[in-house]
Amino acid sequence: MGRCHCHLWVRVFLQIQQSKKSKFHNKRKSLKKMEFLRVQTVASNSKDVAIPDMFVRPETEQPGITTVHGVKLEVPIIDFNNPDEGKVLNEIMEASKKWGMFQIVNHEIPSHVIKKLQSVGKEFFELPQEEKELYAKDPESKSIEGYGTKLQKELNGKKGWVDHLFHIIWPLSSINYRFWPKNPPSYREANEEYLKYLHGVVDKLFKSMSIGLGFEENELKEAAGGDSMIHLLKINYYPPCPFPDLVVGVPPHTDMSYITILVPNDVQGLQAFRDGHWYDVKYVPNALVIHIGDQMEIMSNGKYKAVFHRTTVSKEETRISWPVFIEPQPEYEVGPHPKLVNEENPPKYKTKKYKDYAYCKLNKIPQ
């Protein structure tokens, strides 16, 4: 009899524990759902009604108030295929020093290759939400690869009006195909085709910027990590917003990369900070937008300047962009190039591993 009672109590105890466990997991699931509230979902629920306060910026940051209206910033446009190579080199050097950004035309990436990249990216974001969540980034992981919304520590709890997908497209040894969408089926092929042509653009930019610093043409790329440099693709998806003047897509920042090569769609949204004011950047059809990033500013000891920029959103249209960040491997140390440092020009930046730099930047910790 005693043994029966014992078994009964054990069974009851186990059921209670199982119930507690189940409640705990359900609570975690609901917390995860809250944490992973996607902007695309918010946008579809916010048509012509008030948007959640977490997206509304202070007046000092609202594009409606802080943008210089009626003026488009005409950043340098460089014909990448100009037979006068000296002219191209000089234009890239000047734009990198004075602007931190420029647009290149005649870059030899066929328009059908870019259109296909855009098409498969757009298709991914139009999939049912549960299918996109299969590629969600792991909140426990230090990697930023995957589908998500939050990227960096958000000051004052404010969020950007954007969802994104990150995945590495080069080198092959760094790729994790778990984060490459299997739907649409041509997603991988479109990205690999774009990468084939992108290599030539990266090489030409590094050669020009290397000569611009007084180096041999291959010296800068080798100092940056050569062919092992990470090529990190990001798709930014900015859904329409009923109150675009109150929100930003991506808050003001400089890119962490050496350089960023960006394909926009035809919806205006990129802004640059110049002479103390925010301006819309005038798009040029079929151009690639080039940003100088923090690592290039560091390596050049301040000769090339990272561009301070942000993105705005549209009331009616979806804006999408495809930046590729050319950046060091996580363990790679970046600092001012030794040839650019002497008694008259001491180092202006610390030398540190890229992963440590990125951690500080994303968590708003001083470098």
Residues 177-209 pLDDT 10s: 999 999 999 999 999 999 999 999 999 999 999
pLDDT tens per residue, range 256-284: 999 999 999 999 899 999 999 999 999 89
- Give the C-alpha distances (Å, rounded to integers) separating 207 from 31, 75, 139, 303: 49, 21, 38, 16
Q: What is the reported pTM?
A: 0.90
pLDDT above 70: residue 26: no
Which band of pLDDT confidence, cut at 50, 70 and 90, is reported for residue 14? low
**Cβ atoms 248, 57 nearer than 8 A:** yes
Q: Are 120 and 184 in contact (CB under 8 A)?
A: yes
Q: What is the mean pLDDT of the segment spanning 8-20?
A: 52
Q: Are 163 and 38 in contact (CB under 8 A)?
A: yes
Three-class DSSP category at 202: helix
Domains of the chain, start order: 52-329 (2.60.120.330)
Task: Dump pLDDT digits (tens) for 95-146.
Answer: 999 999 999 999 999 999 999 999 999 999 999 999 999 999 988 888 899 9
Helix-strand-coil percent breakdown of the chain, rounded to 5?
40, 20, 40
Annotated catalytic sites, by residue? 234, 253, 255, 309
Q: pLDDT of 66-78, one tens digit each?
A: 999 999 999 999 9
Q: Are 77 and 267 in contact (CB under 8 A)?
A: no
CA 221 to chain centre: 21
d(CA 207, CA 219): 8
Strand bridging mode 101-105 / 77-79: parallel
* Amino acid at the residue 338: P
Is the model's pLDDT at 155 over the cut of 70? no
| Residue 171: cis peptide before it, omega within 30 degrees of 0 | yes
